[in-house]
Structure 1
Amino acid sequence: MDDMKKGGGAPEQKKVTEGKNQTDNKGDSEKFMKPKISYRDMVMENGFGKLNPQEIVEMVSEEYNSEDLVMDSSMDDEAPFDPKPNIEVSQKEYDKWCRPWKLSLIVKPLGKTFNLQALDRWVQRRWMKKGAIRVMDLAGNFFLVKFTDQDDYAHALFESPWMMADHYLLVQRWRPLFLPHETDIQKVSVWVRIPNLPAELYNKFFLWKVGKALGTMLKVDELTSIHSRGKFARICVEIDL
């Protein structure tokens, strides 16, 4: 009997152990195989499923309106929008901003529209002698040509008229507050010949007076006036069109 107890006890214990392991494995598999809860189910579990669609819309509307009230209260403290504000600028500041553009010319081709690349190539070949030149395109087929050297600037301004592809270039000095879309061609620099003057009037002081009577005096060609005395004098004047 003792042997039977010994022999029968081991299988029974083994069976119990195997049953326990199967139960544990089953619990682990159920834990890992538990289905995921969808976002809809999470929302429904939080109580929103008990609300009808109309109640949900009212809740969202109340929250939106409360945010609007917060924004409106903060905007009441701000100044109203001014589409045309007044910006105060001192004369000293304005003069400082204008200074880099003193050696600049406003150029407009007559009778033809040129792109920036074409005019820039022409300017670099004809006008650049000593310094650098920068060309910027403006509205209305106007160009702004900025020089770094005084002699290059004078050459471009005083040696007109200039022609590009058989079309004249109107060249005028840069002036502050130049707005191409609001400005027609108002001024152009030209060379004026004055023939048959008395000998005593072939001097730069008298010729300067003549130029000021015609427009804005720019230059007296003293070399030509002296060598051509008795024939003609030559002055460069900026005149209104």
Structure 2
Amino acid sequence: MAVDPDLSPKLSWKDMLLGGEASPSVSDRNGSSEGRENDFELLEGDVSTAMVDGMPTIAFSERIKIILFKEMDLTIVLKLLGRNIGYNSLHNRILSLWKPAKSFHLMDTVNGYFLVKFQNIGDYNKVLTQGPWIIYGQYLTVQPWTREFNPLQPYPSVVLAWIRLPGLPRYLYNRKIIEAIGGLIGKVVRLDFQTDNRTRGRFARLAVFINLDKPLISQVMVDNTVQQL
């Protein structure tokens, strides 16, 4: 496996959420830390602690989780398959590939995963629905961040795949109908442009996020007829 060394400073998770530059901390003139973590207060019942089998445990209320998960809006997970890549190299490459309308913030985690926080929903959708994105001849996987994301997994559990519906009856060539069929497989993020405009009658093609932790689907039933994928 090739390695791309990179010793440049990286954004911390706090820096990324605050939209700042990489730095040891964000402080005011008096040296005290300030940031978005002070935008909400911990109320009674928001934090519960206990000892379980001799281990200190802590849990947070659903209210706090909703606030924290909201901060992850417009965040995607990246991983370059088959090769390690440094922070600056990846940043420069995706900046060139994506040509975003607004700046984004990149942070590395573990196992070669990176998180990208976008400021613009158009940039976010573009990265998820276009591609494939290739860097150094290797496939760059992209997936929306969800609360189930686990950076300790060696490989992504969700991938974007193009699905075809060969032999789909002509009367079903409608955006909403095809999206509903695709929804049986996974989250539909894009339809083939020609399919959407009804200029191609042989098959429908759509991009779907597939969960690799679940059994792969090779066929579905559409109006009592088996549809191969």
TM-score (norm. length: structure 1): 0.60
Q: Is residue 56 of structure 2 the alignment partner of residue 103 of structure 1?
A: no
Question: 2:85 matched to which residue of 1?
Answer: 114
TM-aligned CA deviation for residue 154 of structure 1: 0.6
- In structure 1, C-alpha distance between the alignment counterparts of 2:165 and 2:205, rounded to whole Å: 6
Q: Is residue 143 of structure 2 the alignment partner of residue 172 of structure 1?
A: yes
Task: Judging by fraction of residues, say which structure has more helix.
Answer: 1
TM-aligned CA deviation for residue 222 of structure 1: 5.5
* SS of structure 2 residue aligned to 1:178: coil
Give the counterpart of 2:163 among 170, 189, 192: 192
* SS of structure 2 residue aligned to 1:181: coil
Letter aligned with residue 215 of structure 1: G
TM-aligned CA deviation for residue 134 of structure 1: 1.0
TM-aligned CA deviation for residue 141 of structure 1: 0.8
Change (3 A) 1:90 1:223: farther
Question: 1:225 matched to which residue of 2?
Answer: 196
For structure 2, the 5+ residue unaligned runs are 1-49, 213-229
TM-aligned CA deviation for residue 221 of structure 1: 4.0
For structure 1, the 5+ residue unaligned runs are 1-78
Give the counterpart of 1:215 among 162, 181, 186: 186
Identity of aligned residues (%): 31
Q: Is the 8 A contact 1:107 1:171 kept in 2?
A: yes
- Post-superposition Cα deviations, 1:13-57, rounded to whole Å, max 9, x if no partner, equal xxxxxxxxxxxxxxxxxxxxxxxxxxxxxxxxxxxxxxxxxxxxx
Work out which of the two has the higher radius of gyration on C-alpha atoms and give 1 or 2. Answer: 1
Q: Which has the higher contact order (CA 8 A, sep 6+)?
A: 2
- In structure 1, C-alpha distance between the alignment counterparts of 2:210 and 2:119, rounded to whole Å: 25
- Alpha-carbon RMSD: 2.5
- Post-superposition Cα deviations, 1:132-175, rounded to whole Å, max 9, x if no partner, equal 11111111111111111001011100002110011001111111
Task: Judging by fraction of residues, say which structure has more strand.
Answer: 2
When the two structures are aligned, how many residues end up with a matched partner? 163
TM-aligned CA deviation for residue 201 of structure 1: 0.7
Question: 1:149 matched to which residue of 2?
Answer: 120
- In structure 1, C-alpha distance between the alignment counterparts of 2:84 and 2:199, rounded to whole Å: 39
